[in-house]
């Protein structure tokens, strides 16, 4: 009788649980097993972020072309700065690889100084010192830059020619810095006159007026004034050209009508 009552009570409990939407404990255990397995599979499956990181890490780094050196002494500091950063101080490259890249960067007979030096790791420093001794003579480089300054022809009235001269002088000033003399911060009268003499008077005259207002103008200040004046002339020219073209077309049309 007692067993029957217990069985009946258990059955009533199960029915009540089903009505309330609750699963029996045994079913819960069995139902938990598939979910645990699915969760494990989900954890083992790489997500989109992981796959994206793997794809990014598999992308090869961009190829960098080394600058070439053609044997001009005044250009050696710029070449060496790039080579030193990309190759010489690169710990991932072997010494032999650095030597091969250095030889491949030399053009126009600039490799004559290191011909005969065997490609052995112990000769790498020898190769570098040989190149520096030949091409990194700063006093000689400064003298060559001054010669190029003097040989630079004066610009004509065209804005384009004054822009060319300006860019050329900027390059020479940068080379002077690389050669150990920064004249941009000086107020040297000789350099001032030399630079102004390379531009046309329609550029120089407004600059001279500005220089009167700034007595301690440095070479860098003067170059900024010249750049501003060239930019103003270029703007005026670009605005006036369409007007002049339209006027020319109108005059030609009137001549044809007559």
pLDDT per residue as tens digits for the range 150-200: 999 999 999 999 999 999 999 999 999 988 889 999 999 999 999 999 999
Q: Are residues 202 and 104 in the same domain?
A: no
CA–CA separation, 207 and 212 (whole Å): 9
pLDDT at position 254, please?
56
CA distances from residue 189 to 18, 196, 200 in whole angstroms, order as listed? 103, 11, 19
Higher pLDDT, 194 or 30: 194
Would you say 145 and 74 are in contact if contact means Cβ atoms under 8 Å apart? yes
Q: Specify the pLDDT at position 21.
A: 52
Looking at the structure, tell me whether residues 168 and 108 fall in a common domain.
no
Residue 180 sits in the same domain as residue 120: no
Domain boundary among 136, 163, 181: 136
Instruction: Quote the number of domains for the chain.
Output: 2
Q: Say if residues 98 and 124 touch (Cβ distance below 8 Å).
A: yes
Residues 117 and 200 placed together within one structural domain of the fold: no
Integer angstrom CA distances of residue 249 from 56, 184, 240:
59, 47, 14
Q: pLDDT tens, 217-251?
A: 999 999 999 999 999 988 888 887 766 555 655 66
Identify the band that residue 28 occupies on the pLDDT scale cut at 50, 70 and 90: very low
Burial 97-115 (b: 16+ CB within 10 A, else e): ebbebbeebbeeebbebbe
Average pLDDT, stretch 31-55?
A: 52
**Burial of 222: CB neighbours in 10 Å, binned 0-12, 13-18, 19+:** buried
Q: Which domain holds residue 180?
A: 140-255
For residues 110 and 69, is the Cβ–Cβ distance under 8 A?
Answer: yes
* SS3 state at 69: strand
> Which among 93, 121, 136 is the end of a domain?
136
Cα pseudo-dihedral 16, 17, 19, 20, rounded to 10? 120
Are 89 and 187 within one domain? no
Q: Say if residues 142 and 113 touch (Cβ distance below 8 Å).
A: no
Beta carbons within 10 angstroms of residue 185's beta carbon: 9
Report if residue 68 sits inside a domain. no
Q: What is the pLDDT of residue 42?
A: 52
Express each pLDDT in 46-78 by its tens digit: 555 555 555 544 555 556 678 899 988 888 988
116 and 153 housed in the same domain = no
């Amino acid at each position: 009788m007692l067993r029957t009552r217990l069985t009946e009570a258990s059955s009533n409990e199960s029915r009540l649980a089903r009505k309330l939407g609750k699963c029996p404990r045994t079913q819960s255990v069995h139902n938990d097993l598939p979910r645990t397995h699915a969760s494990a599979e989900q954890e083992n499956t790489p997500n989109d972020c992981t796959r994206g990181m793997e794809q990014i890490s598999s992308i090869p780094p961009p190829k960098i072309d080394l600058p070439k050196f053609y044997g001009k002494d005044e250009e050696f500091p710029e070449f060496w700065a790039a080579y030193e950063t990309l190759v010489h101080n690169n710990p991932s490259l072997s010494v032999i690889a650095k030597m091969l890249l250095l030889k491949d960067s030399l053009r126009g007979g600039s490799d004559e100084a290191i011909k005969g030096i065997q490609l052995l790791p112990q000769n790498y420093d020898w190769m570098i010192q040989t190149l520096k001794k030949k091409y990194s003579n700063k006093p000689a480089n400064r003298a060559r830059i001054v010669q190029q300054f003097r040989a630079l022809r004066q610009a004509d009235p065209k804005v384009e020619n004054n822009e060319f001269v300006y860019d050329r002088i900027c390059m020479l000033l940068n080379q002077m810095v690389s050669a150990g003399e920064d004249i941009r911060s000086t107020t040297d009268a000789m350099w001032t006159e030399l630079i102004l003499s390379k531009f046309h008077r329609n550029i120089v005259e407004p600059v001279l007026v500005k220089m009167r207002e700034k007595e301690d103008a440095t070479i860098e200040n003067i170059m900024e004034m010249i750049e501003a004046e060239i930019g103003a002339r270029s703007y005026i020219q670009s605005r006036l050209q369409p007007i002049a073209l339209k006027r020319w077309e109108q005059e030609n049309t009137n001549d044809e009508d007559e």
